[in-house]
Structure 1
């Protein structure tokens, strides 16, 4: 009787959607390390993580939604509104900072809840729902803020922007929180029944329903949880900038989708890893940082990012065709 050998850890790693993005990240680091003496330093890597922590956190929520075969174009606008709610309640209304943060998180979660209900109860396409909600959140941000930046924030709202030392490198508490969030959601998606249900929903909603999964409730829960994560991103943004900015987040929706796609998550749902999203966010951060250190104009950074996204989607499409 033939004995079937289990694949080695190395082979399992190569077979995961993260393998390609991880290889691209390593090659990019090697390339920029050779071309810039400043790139392979602790302070520069800390700077890269700080630069991607807000979009990376947004991309966690985006990953959850894309795994269900949806998409969220409103995440950046929801984050901006959550940030304005937190800062105005704390500064202009004198609400205790902890309650102000809780209110901002709740508002962002409420946006996610409404998105989920519109997608499930009225059967509207996620693209249309979130496109409309983008405009709603954007308008509410500017109405509520009166087009004014909120300054003079209490210490609790800027705490995550403070740093601690690891060797000779300053690391922000916000960067640490972002990494912990990625680890948490990697566990939830990879080691819980809820995570398996999310993947099943993305692969085939009808099959998932027939196996007993309450697909509508699960979808609403995913959108609500994603909204809550956008609220955490809002707090990270406020802590990093030190202000409540009504102009924030206008391109972060596309940046979050970019991170998800570059991380190997399929836009068709049901395939991908949240750790891949972290790798995707780091790829964007590494390319922008490395090209900047090399003196490449920012417009070319955008050009290269766009090319990378097209390549990532093309690879995913070819992979799906091969597996049919």
Structure 2
């Protein structure tokens, strides 16, 4: 019994030290299952489509990772992104660069407001972002008049431009930008003092404060950086589908949280990695693509995604207890 207990503890400690291992294995397992269940899943065009489909959720999940690392959460990220797409679409006539900058500034401002309410007034992030989510969802429909707005501007659509590597592998500029963003955030979290502060605040905020870390400033900066990332997600969304739709990405917030938790980032803060989030976003995209090719209804896909989130949270709690 003692040996078994030690083995379980060592497994838990390993998963705590390398949270990206679990989602990487889950991604491999999902690819194997769907490649055996369908005849087209491993086609290059389909695999490229899966990556494209993961871009927006993956970018939202990148910002969500920063917030969850501080033991916070953002239920309004997808609605903020949708509002930004509508603003960009409406301002496209003034020039794509101007529209892009204004859209990103809007999401940054939303992040700053949320961060200020969380740090200055000490409101729970869940309640604040739930309220902001409700307001932004309604604002998006009011802004668009209930109608989707087509986008023709070349700058706003640029991330959807497709190129071919080695003559046959389709990629878009959006994929390249997403990869660069993940690399930048990875470097910031692992190689800078700011990143160490983010982990410290999420793990033990009082200890972080006593050690000289400005906790409120760190949390506020996280929401602002996340807001910037959500603005880039809006650009990604327009690049993929040149249409600003107020009803788009209604479950984007939950999909981003699912990707983060599947990626091994703890909802209790202080543990996780952007590499794990990348794998988590790909798992969500692979799951939806594979189930679609198997003819599974979209509503059942939502059920499967929700179940996956619950299982991921249970696994996180069990791993922490074992370790």
Q: Name the structure 1 match of 2:129.
A: 130
**Structure 1 residue 177, shift from structure 2 partner:** 1.2
**Structure 1 residue 15, shift from structure 2 partner:** 4.4
**Structure 1 residue 13, shift from structure 2 partner:** 8.4
Aligned partner of 2:87 among 76, 85, 89: 85
Cα distance in 2 between the residues matched to 1:262 and 1:306: 11
1:15-41 CA-to-partner distances (Å, cap 9, x unmatched) read 401111111111111121222221122
Q: Name the structure 2 match of 1:69.
A: 71
Aligned length: 310
**Structure 1 residue 12, shift from structure 2 partner:** 7.0
Cα distance in 2 between the residues matched to 1:69 and 1:80: 25
Cα distance in 2 between the residues matched to 1:77 and 1:304: 22
Aligned partner of 1:18 among 11, 17, 20: 20
1:243-282 CA-to-partner distances (Å, cap 9, x unmatched) read 2212223210111001001111000000000110110011
Cα distance in 2 between the residues matched to 1:35 and 1:148: 38
Q: Name the structure 2 match of 1:205.
A: 205
Q: Name the structure 2 match of 1:49.
A: 51
Q: Name the structure 2 match of 1:315.
A: 315
Q: Say which SS state the counterpart of residue 163 (structure 2) adopts.
A: strand
Cα distance in 2 between the residues matched to 1:126 and 1:12: 30
Q: Name the structure 2 match of 1:99.
A: 98
**Structure 1 residue 146, shift from structure 2 partner:** 2.6
Cα distance in 2 between the residues matched to 1:200 and 1:59: 20
Mapping of residues 30-45 of structure 1, within 5 Å: 30-45=32-47
Which one is further off, 192-201 or 292-301?
292-301
Q: Say which SS state the counterpart of residue 230 (structure 2) adopts.
A: helix
**Structure 1 residue 144, shift from structure 2 partner:** 2.4
Q: Say which SS state the counterpart of residue 244 (structure 2) adopts.
A: coil
Cα distance in 1 between the residues matched to 2:116 and 2:17: 36
- Report the RMSD for the aligned CA atoms in angstroms: 1.6
1:105-152 CA-to-partner distances (Å, cap 9, x unmatched) read 000000000000000110000000000111121222222223232224
Q: Name the structure 2 match of 1:236.
A: 236
Q: Say which SS state the counterpart of residue 271 (structure 2) adopts.
A: coil
Cα distance in 2 between the residues matched to 1:71 and 1:112: 12
**Structure 1 residue 183, shift from structure 2 partner:** 1.6
Which one is further off, 203-212 or 243-252?
243-252
The runs of at least 4 aligned residues of structure 1 exceeding 4 Å deviation read 11-15
User: Is contact 1:118–1:124 with CA below 8 Å preserved after alignment?
Assistant: yes
1:209-247 CA-to-partner distances (Å, cap 9, x unmatched) read 111111111111100111111000001111111122122
1:65-84 CA-to-partner distances (Å, cap 9, x unmatched) read 00000000000110011111
Cα distance in 1 between the residues matched to 2:149 and 2:300: 33
**Structure 1 residue 190, shift from structure 2 partner:** 1.3
Q: Name the structure 1 match of 2:180.
A: 180
User: Is contact 2:88–2:99 with CA below 8 Å preserved after alignment?
Assistant: yes
User: Is contact 1:65–1:222 with CA below 8 Å preserved after alignment?
Assistant: yes
Alpha carbons of 1:172 and 1:293: their partners in 2 closer, same or farther (altered >3 Å)?
A: same
